Amino acid sequence: MLVAAGSTLIEVSNIMSLPVKRIKELLKFESKTDHRVLRDIKNARKKWLEKLDHDPNRLVIQVRKNNWGLYRFLIKYDHEWIIKQGRSRQQKVDWTKRDTEWSQALKNAASRIADKYPGRRIAKSAMIKEAGLNLRIVSEMHRLPKCDYMLNNFSESRIRYRERQEDLKLFQP
């Protein structure tokens, strides 16, 4: 590094307390090692790409499992390159599609509850259960704006439910 930064061999030998001859030997050894490592990296890259091509899904996990030594070598000497070879992760859930489907299901569930069970409160949880969805949907409301809108607009509060019950009592003979 010192030589690459512009220091002379004599300056480097004084700093490291080594003879100039030893500094020259170290420089030759280092350059041979670098050349050897670069050649090995090229070969390893070639092998890695061949292994990926043989895997039908190009799954890095599977190739890594089967070629652990090659993977470790590339991680050690060519980390950035090997990381870039992985397939970018695809979003597992299409939240907009799910939001559209589920919001319609929630709307239908609210009308079914009102028709089948006129005395029953149209609560958010009842709408979700009637739609056949899991109650964990509530924890994902930040991703489901249409569902949130349907739950808030079609569900009844306790006060609104009481008012509706009183109205039903008034109309019954």
Mean pLDDT along residues 57-74: 84
The helix/strand/coil state of 89 is coil
Average pLDDT of the chain is: 83
Q: Which residue from 128, 90, 93, 92 is spatially nearest to 107, judged by alpha carbons? A: 128
Least confident window among 8-17, 52-61, 121-130: 52-61
Give the integer Cα–Cα distance in Å for 103 and 153: 11
State residue 76's pLDDT score. Answer: 87
Q: Which residue from 171, 103, 97 is spatially nearest to 137, judged by alpha carbons? A: 103
107 Cβ contact list (under 8 Å, min separation 6): 150, 154
CB atoms within 10 A of CB 74: 22
Give the integer Cα–Cα distance in Å for 165 and 91: 46
CB atoms within 10 A of CB 122: 21
DSSP assigned state of 90: P
- Print the SS3 string covering the chain: CCCCCCCCHHHHHHHHCCCHHHHHHHHHHHHHHHHHHHHHHHHHHHHHHHHHHHCCCCCHHHHHHHCHHHHHHHHHHCHHHHHHCCCCCCCCCCHHHHHHHHHHHHHHHHHHHHHHCCCCCCCHHHHHHHCCCCHHHHHHHHHCHHHHHHHHHHCCCHHHHHHHHHHHHHHCC
Least confident window among 2-6, 41-45, 129-133, 160-164: 2-6
Mean pLDDT along residues 25-31: 68
Please indicate, yes or no, whether the overall pTM of this predicted structure exceeds 0.75.
no
What is the share, in percent, of the chain residues with pLDDT greater than 90? 24
Q: Say which residue, 6 or 173, is predicted with more confidence.
A: 6
Q: Say which residue, 55 or 146, is predicted with more confidence.
A: 146
Least confident window among 9-13, 50-54, 55-59: 55-59
pLDDT band at 3 (very low <50, low <70, confident <90, very high): low
pLDDT (tens digit per residue) in 89-147: 556 788 899 999 999 999 999 999 888 887 788 889 989 999 999 989 889 899 999 99
